[in-house]
Amino acid sequence: MDLKGKVALITGAAAGIGLAYSEELLKHGAKVSLCDIDSDIGEQIADELGAKYGRKNVLFCQCDVTDYPQYEEAFEMTIKVFNRLDIVINNAGVMNDRFWELEVDVNLNGVIRGTLLAYRFMGKDRGGQGGTIVNTASTAFARPQVSTPIYTATNYAVVGLTRAYGDQYHVNLTGVRSLVLCPGLTDTGLVKEIRKQLMSSEYEAAWQRDNANCKTQSSEHVGRALIEILTKGQSGSVWVVENGQAPREWRG
Ligand SMILES: NC(=O)C1=CN([C@@H]2O[C@H](COP(=O)(O)OP(=O)(O)OC[C@H]3O[C@@H](n4cnc5c(N)ncnc54)[C@H](O)[C@@H]3O)[C@@H](O)[C@H]2O)C=CC1
Ligand SMILES: CCCCCC(=O)/C=C/C=C\C/C=C\C/C=C\CCCC(=O)O
């Protein structure tokens, strides 16, 4: 896929993996709409990326993915400013099983909202030009993270959603391809104080076991994997990137 001139909307773009995706897309000549709940950091990041890659190529939209009207406005603003939309990356996520209803609302319902909006604005059956949806899940979908059962469940669900919408039936109907990228342990701010993010502080031993054999990778590594899967990923495909290795397709 030639990314030059393409427009991508990325959620959770102010930090971590979403920020790495955004910078990698800019390096490849795309324009980015950075969507994040955190407007202070988001505006600052947009200024920095704009100074580096051209101000006309970067937009920040304050957007909470749990709020459908706000999310819809971010799509409208992106299309108003860039005049097109080609790629939607549902990446915003949290890991906190203590606040599991919010976790489900961000990690699963947020991806569903982003997917429905992507079809509405890019679907050929709705007057759009077609495009690509990329969802971020986690390797926890294939190897359950025992310390965070509810976080794990949201990742299973996102993979299921992507595989179903990724079927050729939906591609024929809408011209929209769907992929999912599942990183393993990545060095970001997702964990701030692990004891407070587990349902019970007793699960800390399980957290240590979950991560025992994992090599932490950088978010930049995951950003590069995104470009690779955008280039060669078939609709409905599931990609794992972990331990700093090249992305590989997961075939069940
Ligand atoms: N860090 C890791 O080891 C892994 C992360 N992931 C997934 O990658 C995605 C990104 O996570 P990281 O970059 O690690 O986290 P992060 O905490 O570094 O960044 C997440 C970003 O999402 C934003 N955000 C949070 N709630 C939001 C909401 N309601 N609406 C809009 N934006 C919101 C935050 O403000 C932040 O900028 C998540 O879906 C996470 O589950 C998957 C596997 C491993
Ligand atoms: C093994 C399952 C991998 C799934 C990863 C995932 O979805 C969520 C990971 C959450 C947090 C990663 C954040 C930071 C990583 C940095 C250091 C980890 C140190 C591990 C430890 O011993 O505490």
CA distance linking residue 148 with residue 154, whole number of Å: 10
Burial of 219: CB neighbours in 10 Å, binned 0-12, 13-18, 19+? buried
Active site residue 151: yes
Of all residues in the chain, what percent carry a pLDDT higher than 90?
99
pTM more than 0.90: yes
3-state secondary structure of 134: strand
Statement: residue 1 has pLDDT above 90: no
Q: Which of 10, 17, 100, 138 to mutate to test the pocket of ligand 1 (most atoms within 8 A of CB)?
A: 17
What mean pLDDT is reported for the chain? Answer: 97
Of all residues in the chain, what percent carry a pLDDT higher than 70?
100
- pLDDT confidence of residue 93: 98
Helices vs. strands in the chain: H and E counts, helices first: 10, 8
CA distance linking residue 167 with residue 53, whole number of Å: 35
Q: Which of 9, 11, 34, 36 to mutate to test the pocket of ligand 1 (most atoms within 8 A of CB)?
A: 36
Q: Which of 21, 71, 119, 151 is catalytic?
A: 151
**135 C-beta closer than 6 A to ligand 1:** no
The string of pLDDT tens digits covering residues 20-60 is 999 999 999 999 999 999 999 999 999 999 999 999 999 99
State the distance from the centre of ligand 2 to the C-alpha of 32, rounded, in angstroms. Answer: 27
- pLDDT confidence of residue 119: 98
